[in-house]
Amino acid sequence: MKIAVVILNWNGILLLEKFLPSVVNYSPQATIYVADNASTDDSISYIKAFFPSVQIVKNESNLGFASGYNEALKHIDAEIYALVNSDIEVTENWLQPILQTFENEPKTAIIQPKILDYKRKEYFEYAGAAGGFIDQYGYPYCRGRIFDTLEKDTGQYDDNCEIFWASGACFFIRSSVYKTLNGFDDDFFAHQEEIDLCWRAFNKGYKIKYNSGSVVYHVGGATLQQGHPMKTYLNFRNSLLMLTKNLPKEKLYTILLGRMILDGIAGIQFLTQGKFKHFWAILKAHGAFYTLFSITYKKRSKFQNPQYYNTKSIVYFYFIKKISVFNDLFGIK
């Protein structure tokens, strides 16, 4: 099975110096590519000098995550794409369990490995942890991470199971499915584009899996810090775009209204905390959503599966019921 490991890069020479060696050393089955978003640092010269086996695909400008991958993958021939952040450290034999699952399960289209925190390696990492889900209002959460609460890895998610979304930090997908779905949505630029892609795959009947046999470590926030207002803007805007595209028609407007009310509450909370830039980011996100609504609505597919969530409101369980561990949501011991 032909696999391409594709690392998106923009002025990330320090990350490449630190993390590219593990990818090269532990990926003998793969062809490794760096998709460069028109870097102005020495990224390209570094790769050519120290890792001549790594192939380089040059984008003409900084296209962000979504368009950056969409453009680069047009030039890469493989059965499986492994989209890997530049701040990921992989481990020995990380590819074998993933490839075995793809070979044995033809209905499985997307797979995520176990993602642990590079800085605290006994804990799950925010972006994906042990596989993602969303609630009725589109709020994402993970096995091992609900909002900002991260669980310690004690083997509680050492399994292979179906999930709703796989993290873009380390995202495996069949190239045929990627092309069928027309890749990531360019309008997202960055953040939640992988959840949108997984939701579209789910609506078409594909399976998304988590495989704990593959382990990687993620720094997280290496390109845009968790508390940056731009991240707030992109997350709030893209979440509304994602709901517009993928919600069942009969639930679309009621869920959107509920989500907007919850966004308003979040904005008021930012105001009371003195985080005025984040409050303004939410206002800008809603303004951008209104501008893009008509275009986004036209992207809806013919079928939207109503069974997209297994928790009605993760906001309620986390902030009201004080449940911060995934297994406690379902009484799993």
pLDDT digits (tens, 9 = 90+) for 162-211: 999 999 999 999 999 999 999 999 999 999 999 999 999 999 999 999 99
Distance CA 295, CA 268 (A): 29
Whole-structure pTM value = 0.96
Q: How remote is the C-alpha of 21 from its chain's centroid? A: 23
Mean predicted confidence (pLDDT) in 61-77: 97
Domain boundaries, the chain: 3-218, 229-301
54 touches 44 (CB < 8 A): no
183 touches 194 (CB < 8 A): no
317 touches 311 (CB < 8 A): yes
> How many residues in the chain?
333
* Homologous superfamily, domain 3-218: Spore Coat Polysaccharide Biosynthesis Protein SpsA; Chain A (3.90.550.10)
Distance CA 124, CA 152 (A): 6
Mean predicted confidence (pLDDT) in 285-306: 97
Question: Closest Cα partner for 188 from 55, 275, 260, 292?
Answer: 292
Contacts of 252 (CB under 8 A, 6+ apart): 243, 244
Question: Closest Cα partner for 131 from 79, 170, 80, 185?
Answer: 170
Q: What is the pLDDT of residues 246-263, one digit of tens each?
A: 999 999 999 999 999 999
Q: Is the pLDDT of residue 69 over 90?
A: yes
Contacts of 29 (CB under 8 A, 6+ apart): 3, 95, 96, 99
Residue 148 DSSP class: T
Question: Closest Cα partner for 23 from 43, 7, 37?
Answer: 7
**What pLDDT score does 223 carry?**
57
Percent of the chain with pLDDT over 70: 98
